[in-house]
Structure 1
Amino acid sequence: MPAAIPPLTAVEVKSLINNAGSKKRKIICFSDFDGTIFMQDTGHVLFDNHGCGSERREVLDEQIKTGERSFREVSEEMWGSLHVPFNDGFKVMEKTLEIDPDFRSFHEYCINNKIPFNVISAGLKPILRRVLDTFLGEEQSAQINIVANDAKIAEDGSEWKPIWRHDNELGHDKALSVQEARSQAEMTCEDGTIPLIVFIGDGVSDLPAAREADVLFARRGLRLEEYCIENNIAHVPFDTFADIQKEIQRIRKEDEEKTAGKGLPVRFNPRANLWRRVSSQTAVPRVVATAPVATPVAPVQA
C-alpha cells in the first residue's frame, strides 16, 4: 500500500506554490522503448524468431508476473536462448518493428527546443541504438541518450549476455536511473530553473520509473493507463507522440506567461517533494495531481 501522506498546512501550500511560481521548469523527457516508441517489443521479436520461441517466452513472462522468478533471471534465460549473429537477428526486427507515427516529429521538436530526450529501458543498449539509427537516421539517433543494459554479443551469435546496470533482481533499476538524472539536472539548472521530469510509458513495468516523474503520459488502452484508472493515479493518456507534444507545448507556454508576470495558475504538485520523501518501492507513481490550490493536468483530447 502507498505510504500515507499527511495533509499540508495552508502556510506550506502557499510557500510551495509561491516558490514554484517564481521558477521556470526545465523539461526533461524519459520514455520507455518497447510498446511506447515502437509498437512491438524488440526482445520478443528476437526470442520468438531466433530464440526460445513464443510459447516458452509466454511461460517465462508468467513466471515474472507471479514472482516465481526474478526479471533478471528470466531475462538471462531468454537472451541466452539466442544463437544468431547480431546482424542476422536485426533483419527480422527491421521488418517487424513499427515506430509511433508521430515520434520523429516529436523528437525534432525536442531538439529544436533543447528538451533532453532519454530512452530508459530494461533492454540491451546495442539493440536499441541500432534500431534508432535505422528508423531515425544516425544524426537524429545520436541526440537520444539511452539508459539501458549493455551486452556482450559474440560475433558468431553463439552468446548473448546482458551486462546489467545494477546488481539487483531487476538488472536495471529504472527508478534509480531517473533519480540520478534528476540530481544531475538539479546541479546543472541555471537562472532559477527547476527540473520537470516527464515519463512516457505503456506498461505496469514502467511504474518504478513513472513513480519518479512529475508528469506521467500513459499510452491509451494499454496496461499502464488501465492501472492508473484502477488506482486513481493522475496521468495524461496519449494515442501518439503528437498528443504528448501538444501537452508539453502547453506546459512551456504556461511557464512563459508565468515568468512574464501574468500571474496565471501553475500546474504544480505541492505534494511532490513530500511524496518523494515518503514513497516506497510499492507506492504508486508520483505525478502531477489535482490540488485545491493548483490547476491539474487535464487529459489530452484525442
Structure 2
Amino acid sequence: MGSVTSSDTPALATNPRLIFFTDFDGTVTTHDSNDYMTDNLGFGLALRRQGNQDVLLRGRPFRDSFQEMMDSIKLPFDQCIATLRATIKLDPGFRAFFDWCRANNVPIVVLSGGMQPVIRSLLEMWLGDEARHIQVVSNDVAPREGKSINDEGGWQIRFHDDSIHGHDKSIEIRKYSSLPDRPVMLYAGDGVSDLSAAKETDLLFAKAGKDLVTYCEMEKVPFVTFQDFTTIHETVREIHEGKLTAKDAALGRIHE
C-alpha cells in the first residue's frame, strides 16, 4: 500500500481524538431508503428479504443482491428522490448527536452501500448547510446508455469499487486504522451492507433486532446494540470524556 495522504483521510484534518463512522440507511435513518424503494417501487418485500438471507447465511455477494434490487426500480431518479424526501425520517437522536460531535471535534463519516445523491439530498433536507460537515463515501448513480437518469428506467447504481460488496467499507476505515497514533474509531450499522466494516473499528454499534447483530454473534465480533442515536450519543460521550473504554462498552445485546 502507498503512503496515506491527508486527502485520503480528511477526517484527520482537525486532529480529532475520536472518529465516528456510520452506515446511513436504517442507521442514521429510521427506515432504509433502498429497502423502501425496492419494496414499494421495485420487486417487493419477499424477494428483497430472500436476497438479504442469501447474503447473510449463504455467502452470496451483497453486490449481486443489491444490483438486482436497484435494477427492479424503474421510476425516474428525480421521482425516487422526491418519494424518499416525503417518506424517510431521520433517527430521533441523530440531530443532537451531530450537534455534539460538531462542538467536540468528532468527525462523522458516512460509509454507505446506498447512493450519494440520495444521501446528500436527505442530509441537506434535515441539516441544511450543516450537512456539508459530514463526509459521505458511497456508491453513486449513473444513466443507462442512451438515457437520462430522470427517464423511466433510465438510471442504474454505479458501485464504489470492484469488491463483492459493491462498496467495501473496510477499505475506507483501514486508511485510518493503519496509521500510527490514530484516533479511537467507532462504527454504527444495522445490516448486510455493514459486514465488511464490522471487524474494523474499536467499537461496533449494531442496531437491535437487525441482521448485523446476527452476523456479529455468528462471527464472534464484539459489539453493543443500540435502539437509536440517543444510546449511541451517551456511550460516545463517555468514551470521549475518558469515562469508558471502547472495549468495555462492547456489551452485546443490552438495548433490545
Q: What TM-score comes out, normalization by structure 2 length? A: 0.79
CA contact (8 A) 2:161 2:168 kept: yes
- Is 1:224 the counterpart of 2:215? The answer is no
Amino acid in the other structure paired with 1:54: L
Matching of residue 212 in structure 1 with residue 200 in structure 2? yes
Tell me if the contact between 1:82 and 1:157 (Cα under 8 Å) persists in the aligned partners: no
Partner of 2:157: 162
Find the counterpart in structure 1 of residue 188 from structure 2.
Answer: 200
Match of 1:142? 132
1:118 to partner: Cα distance:
0.8
Q: For 2:212 and 2:170, locate their aligned partners in 1 and report how far apart those are by CA, in whole Å.
A: 16
Match of 1:152 in 2: 142
Q: C-alpha distance in 1, partners of 2:59/2:201?
A: 29
Highest CA radius of gyration, 1 or 2? Answer: 1
**Counterpart position of 2:82:** 91
> Could you tell me how far 1:237 is from its partner in structure 2?
2.6
Map Cα deviations across residues 185-211 of structure 1 (whole Å, 9 max, x no partner): x48xxxxx6311111112354232121
Q: Would you say the 8 A contact 2:91–2:228 is kept in 1?
A: yes
Aligned residues: 235
Alignment match, 1:11 = none
Distance 2:66 2:21 in 1: 23
Q: Distance in 2 between matches of 1:174 and 1:232?
A: 19
Residue 61 of structure 1, aligned match among 48, 52, 55: 52
The superposition leaves residues 86-133 of structure 1 with CA deviations (integer Å, 9 ceiling, x where unpaired) of: 221123222332221110110111111121101111111111111211
1: CA distance between counterparts of 2:220 and 2:167? 27
Offset at 1:27? 0.3
Q: Indicate the SS of the match to 1:197.
A: strand
CA distance in 2 between partners of 1:231 and 1:172 (Å): 21
Q: 1:297 pairs with 231, 242, 249, which one?
A: 249
Shift of 1:74: 2.5
Residues 1:248 and 2:236 aligned together: yes
Residues in 1 aligned to 2:238 and 2:59: alpha-carbon distance in whole angstroms:
44
1:124 aligns with 2:112: no
Correspondence for 1:275: none
Q: In structure 2, what residue type is equivalent to 1:170?
A: H
The partner residue of 2:36 within 26, 39, 45 is 45
**1:238-290 alpha-carbon deviations (Å, 9 max, x no partner):** 222122222222122228xxxxxxxxxx83xxxxxxxxxxxxxxxxxxxx44x
Q: TM-score, normalised by structure 1?
A: 0.68
Letter in 1 for 2:231: D
The alpha-carbon deviation at position 147 of structure 1 amounts to: 1.0
Give, in angstroms, the shift of residue 78 of structure 1. Answer: 2.1
Cα distance, 1:182 vs structure 2: 3.5
Specify the SS of the correspondent of 2:20.
strand
How far apart are the structure 2 equivalents of 1:298 and 1:208?
Answer: 18
5+ long unaligned stretches in structure 1: 1-23, 188-192, 256-265, 268-287, 290-295
Q: Secondary structure at the match of 1:208?
A: coil
Pairing 1:234–2:186 present = no
1:82–1:159 Cα contact (<8 Å) kept: no
Give SS of 1:120's match. strand
- Tell me the equivalent position of 1:10: none
User: Alpha carbon RMSD of aligned pairs, Å?
Assistant: 2.8
Moved more, 193-202 or 61-70: 61-70
Distance 1:225 1:55 in 2: 21
For structure 2, the 5+ residue unaligned runs are: 1-14, 144-148
How much has 1:144 moved relative to structure 2? Answer: 0.8
Asked whether the 8 Å contact 2:204–2:250 carries over to 1, the reply is no
User: What is the CA-CA distance between 1:169 and the residue it aligns to?
Assistant: 1.9
